[in-house]
Structure formats: C-alpha cells, structure tokens
Amino acid sequence: MKYLSTTKAEAFIAQALHANQVPLADATLVAQLMIQSDLVGADGHGIFRLPAYIKRIRAGGINLSPNIQIEREQGATALINGDNALGHLVMNKAVDVAIEKVKQHSVCWVGSHYGNHSGAASVYVRKLAEQGYIGIYMAVGNANHMAPWGGIDLLLSTNPIAIAVPSGDKPIVLLDIATTVAAYGKVKLAAQKGESIPDTWMIDRQGQPITDPQKSSEGSLLPIGGYKGYGLAVMIGLLAGALNNAAVGKGTIDFNAHHDLITNTGQTIIAVDPSAFGDKEQFVARVIALVDDLKASSTLPGVNQIRVPGDGAARVMAERLSCGIPISSELQESLNNCAKECGITALDL
C-alpha cells in the first residue's frame, strides 16, 4: 500500500477538475471537501470517486456554472436549489446557510434539491460541530440499491444519516451510517480490489447471499437492523427527498449508470445551538461525562475497549494527516487513467 499526502491529493483533484472546465475556486473547494472523506476513512466517498465525477462532467451531467441559491425561505427553514452543481458545492452552501440561521434562530432546517453526490455525510455535520453546534444530516443516495423489506424491487438507496455532537477539546461524538449494512461505495471498492464481500451485505433475488461484488447488480443491499433499517431508509427518503422536491423511489437516477442525467439529489442539514437549552459548557461537560462512563465501563471477554461514535474517525484522521491517504495499486491505476484523459501529470507515489 502506498500513501498520498493530503496536499498532493487535493492538488491532484483540483487539477483534474479544473482541466475539465471546473472554475479553479470551485475545483479547489471540492478537492478539499473530497479529501475530508478520505481523512476519516470513508474511502468509498473521497478521491476514489474522482473518475466517476469526471465522467459525469464530460457527459454533461454536471452544471459547471451553477447558480446555487435559496429558492424558498421561511423563518428558520430554507430550501436550496443546487442547480445541478457538483454536490460538494451545494452542501457547502447548505452548511453556510445553516450556520447563519442557527445563529439567528438557535435551530434550523435546511433542505436542498438538484444536488449531486457530495461525499461522506460526516464532512458536513463535522463543520457544524467544530463551531459548537449539533449537526444532523440526511440524504437520498444517488442510486437505488435496496429493496423494501421482503421485496426484490430496488426502490431505496443507502440513505445515510449523520449526527455530530460537540465535546469541547475532546473528539467530536459523530455517528455517520448508511441505512444499509454496508454503503455501496464499499462494494465498489471491493470490486476494484478483486476482493469478496461479507455474506451479510447483499442478497440476490432468491434471498441468497452475494459475496462476489461483481454481481452486485443482481441483488439488493441489506438494511441495518432488518425491517427497522428499512423503515429508517423510508423516513429519510421522505425527509431528504420528498420534502425537498428531490428524487426518491422510482424517480432516483443511478449516477453510476447514467452520467448525463440530472440526479436531483435531495439532502437535509439540521443545526442546533446547545445554548438554547442551557449553559453550553455544562452541556459539553455532560457529553464528556457520558463518553468517559461508556469508555470506562466493563467489557465482555475478549473485548479490549469500548468505543463511542467518532473514535475511529478521530484515530484514522490523526494517522492520515501524519502518514497520508492509503492508495491501492488498483486505485492508483484508475486515477492515473483519469489523469491521462484529463491531460495532467500522473500520480507518482
């Protein structure tokens, strides 16, 4: 395994995007946000996605001169029209609007439509938590990979949810999960590496496990927690898709298969100021106390430590800021093929 520094990774992404007519400022911002996914270990959402983004840009599936704007606004709510821009730009705007509104109203709900894939959900709630706010994110995934509980028709996506809670100078308590056992990006990563996937990730149309990621199109991702995960995916679809007049259900476009079509991706950001409910420092102290109690609790035989949401991401971020982002030979080949198409210098690791 080879490693790529964040500085070089961001520069490579920005160059590739700019070579495909993305304005330099936008390309630079998207590169920074993409690498935030890699830094926390969400490898299926970071630089791995660059070739797919380039394909969409070249096919005309992305608006490179968007007018990202607030389409509707009422009190502590807003609906952003992403104008089919690169998804990272749309969500960055949504977070900016959320920060403005939470300062004014103590709580806000910002929805968006006509967006695109924007990387790991944690990237955006982390931006809120770093400023002392609680952040909640929900989205409709960019392709349907899950059938309703007991069914075989693919009508739901991985529909992620992320929640970040500030904890002072301690690591942010952050949950970022798909409503499926595994995000589809992990399946794509396994396929790229020629690896098998666990038999708990997918089933075929007869309900039998799929372990070959190359056969993923023949089956359905399984929801977390059985029917409960399915129910959660439905509700997120309604709140991030239907509520925002964005694609959901049969209207969802598979951005992996149709690079030229508008996906109308729907996403939602909720921000909460803890000081609206009492002293913020006391709240943070209660957060830290619970985390400490959880970590100090007794363990089952064979368990070395109790972890809380966000521990893994904090550890991986520290490692990758120091050592760089791991790049497999397969990913390097994919990125260098992309570089050749874009007319930029290949990665030399």
Q: Nearest CA to 324 among 47, 28, 19?
A: 47
CA dihedral of residues 307, 311, 315, 316 (deg, nearest 10): 110
- What is the C-alpha separation between 87 and 84, in angstroms, rounded? 8
Q: What is the pLDDT of residue 46?
A: 96
- What is the C-alpha separation between 188 and 185, in angstroms, rounded? 5
pLDDT, average across residues 204-225: 92
- Model confidence pLDDT, tens digit, residues 42-87: 999 999 999 999 999 999 999 999 999 999 999 999 999 999 999 9
State both tokens at 29.
């911002």
To the nearest whole percent, how much of the chain has pLDDT over 90? 92
Q: What is the pLDDT of residue 217?
A: 85
Q: What is the DSSP string of 298-328?
A: ---TT------TTHHHHHHHHHHHHH-EEE-
- Model confidence pLDDT, tens digit, residues 16-32: 999 999 999 999 999 99
Q: Is the dihedral of CA 35, 92, 189, 305 positive or negative?
A: positive
pLDDT, average across residues 107-113: 98
Question: Please, which pLDDT band fits residue 348 given cuts at 50, 70 and 90?
Answer: confident
List the beta bridge partners of residue 115.
265
The pTM assigned to this predicted structure is: 0.94
Q: What is the pLDDT of residue 321?
A: 96
Assess whether pLDDT exceeds 90 at residue 229: yes
Question: Please, which pLDDT band fits residue 171 given cuts at 50, 70 and 90?
Answer: very high
Residue in the block written with tokens 């990758």: 320
